[in-house]
A = this chain, B = another copy of it.
């Protein structure tokens, strides 16, 4: 597959301004609706696995390991497009999100909004988080 996305790795590694920990922040956006689902981090390995498999992988800072989105919860992200910003310090992945992106069981993580002079929760829990991470 000479035109496979993974062939773009040298270009990408040159274009991304990884931070001192070798990480870049990533925004995940739902294809079509444009909904911003979540933000997380990738290192070189996460980028490589994402492009190679078409399933979005991140680097977990808290667990110190590579993580395939949905590996426990089943709420996977299939890669549609991989983009880098002008100064290389942010990545945008456009994805097909299965189910809910947020560990709270909401569709996306940006569920707190300013309403009437207060910060309010404006998105419903769609799946019980205990169901997402059981077993």
**Chain A residues in contact with chain B, CB under 8 A?**
2-8, 11-12, 15, 25, 27, 29, 33-36, 38-39, 51, 81-87, 89-90, 92, 102-104, 106, 109-114, 116-119
Contact A81 B114, CB 8 Å, known A27-B39, A86-B104: yes
A110's partner among B36, B92, B112 (CB-CB below 8 A) is B92
The answer to whether B109 touches A38, judged by C-beta atoms less than 8 angstroms apart, is: no
The answer to whether B117 touches A5, judged by C-beta atoms less than 8 angstroms apart, is: yes
Interface centre among A7, A89, A112, A113 (most CB of B within 10 A): A112
Q: A34-B36, A51-B114, A90-B109 are in contact. List 6 more A-B contacts (CB 8 A).
A: A8-B119, A11-B119, A34-B34, A83-B112, A85-B110, A86-B111
